[in-house]
Amino acid sequence: MPHPLLTVPVGRNVGLTSISLGLLRFLDRNGVHVGFYKPVAQLRPGPRTNLDLGTERSCALVRETIGLDSPTPIASEELEQWLAERSSNEVGQRVVADYHSISSKYDAIVIEGMVPTERHPWANRVNQIIADAIDAEVILVTDAKTRSLHTLTDDLRIAVSAYGSRVKGCILNRVAATSASILPSLAATMARAGSADQHHRFVEHLTAIKQAGVRPLGAVPVMQDFSAMRVSDLAAQLGASVVARGNWEQRRVRSVRVGAMRIEHAQRAFSHGVLIVVPSDRSDILIGAALATLNGIELAGLLLSGTEAPDESV
């Protein structure tokens, strides 16, 4: 029988899917024959795009990036009905059936729990049902960016009291790594290499976890660039015509500013990672942005509005 590893969020917006998929890739790269299972679908509401919002995103990501198929998750509406009818046994039986449909294929299975939201306030209860139904080992996931150490350790103690000996450890997500004043390229290098500042923060957080009685399994630094869209992606989404690509595969959009004022005011918006939206006939701002880039300011790029391309001399 495989090891069922259930990732459980300690709070909201902890990046559970990212950590679950990262754990899956980590095990796979270290030679563990690992599967994936998302018991309950949590569809995110939003405007319709070319993405199929009816697909559970975690399952879709695993299928597209690793090529793993997983059982069809229970619809949250169906699960909510079961809970309202006090049929938690039905939930457990469905989870057991889906889990055993793939259990013989793998040495370990990463199971992504539910995240508490306004639409799913009963998520913690469901996670406990899942853990009990398949006798899962629990890995707690928490966000170190938005919590003080005191709050973090209190939340962990509460989670441990809910799952008891099932808890095998905790993964800290979004540990602050470097100063915001450091240039993006340098920040990325230091985060990968492990700066002294980052090391001290990691030690501080890991020590706090140990004091809460939880084994620290890992810590993931904050990397803003990982959640920022590349300029090439933005251009593809907008169907924009390309005037000059530059290194648009590496440049990421951290913020967007409108540059429609005179150059002496527009230049205040020139900073690292900023996408400047500017009328295509504002030659002064286009030249000012080019000079800023030559002086070492890594703008994300320029998005030109209007129907006319800039003059060739510009």
Residues 210 and 239 in one domain: no
CA distances from 84 to 41, 73, 113, 119 (A): 18, 19, 20, 14
DSSP 3-state assignment of 297? coil
- CA–CA distance, 146 with 154 (Å, rounded to integer): 14
Cβ atoms 221, 198 nearer than 8 A: yes
Residues 161 and 251 in one domain: no
- CA–CA distance, 104 with 269 (Å, rounded to integer): 57
Residues 188 and 296 in one domain: no
Residue 47 within a domain? yes
Residues 181 and 235 in one domain: no
Residues 210 and 240 in one domain: no
| Maximum pairwise Cα distance, the chain | 73
Residue 96 within a domain? yes
Residues 202 and 279 in one domain: no
Residue 310 within a domain? no
When divided into structural domains, the chain yields a total of 2
Amino acid found at 70: S
Residue 71 within a domain? yes
Residue 154 within a domain? yes
- CA–CA distance, 202 with 221 (Å, rounded to integer): 9
Residues 169 and 138 in one domain: yes
Residues 45 and 166 in one domain: yes
Residues 293 and 184 in one domain: no
Domain end, chosen from 205, 224, 243, is at: 224
Residues 248 and 266 in one domain: yes
β-pair type (229-230, 137-143): unpaired
- CA–CA distance, 103 with 133 (Å, rounded to integer): 14
Please report, for the domain that includes residue 93, its CATH number: 3.40.50.300
Residue 253 within a domain? yes
Domain end, chosen from 224, 251, 267, is at: 224
Residue 313 within a domain? no
Which residues contact residue 35 at a Cβ distance below 8 angstroms, ignoring those fewer than 6 apart?
A: 2, 68, 70, 102, 105, 106, 108, 109, 110
The predicted structure's pLDDT at residue 101: 94
Residues 184 and 219 in one domain: yes
Only one residue has tokens 């992606």, namely 233
β-pair type (3-9, 108-112): parallel
Residue 214 within a domain? yes
Cβ atoms 193, 232 nearer than 8 A: no
Cβ atoms 56, 43 nearer than 8 A: yes
Tokens of 74: 């229970």
Domain end, chosen from 168, 192, 224, is at: 224
Residues 255 and 296 in one domain: yes
pLDDT tens series, the chain, 314 aa: 789 999 999 988 899 999 999 999 999 999 999 999 999 998 765 444 443 345 678 888 888 888 888 899 998 888 888 888 877 788 899 999 999 999 999 999 999 999 998 888 899 999 999 999 999 999 999 988 777 778 888 889 999 999 999 999 999 888 775 433 333 443 443 344 444 455 566 677 777 778 788 888 888 877 766 778 899 999 999 999 888 888 898 889 989 999 888 888 888 889 889 999 999 888 899 999 999 989 888 899 999 998 888 888 88
Tokens of 277: 């939206």
Range of the domain at 283: 228-305
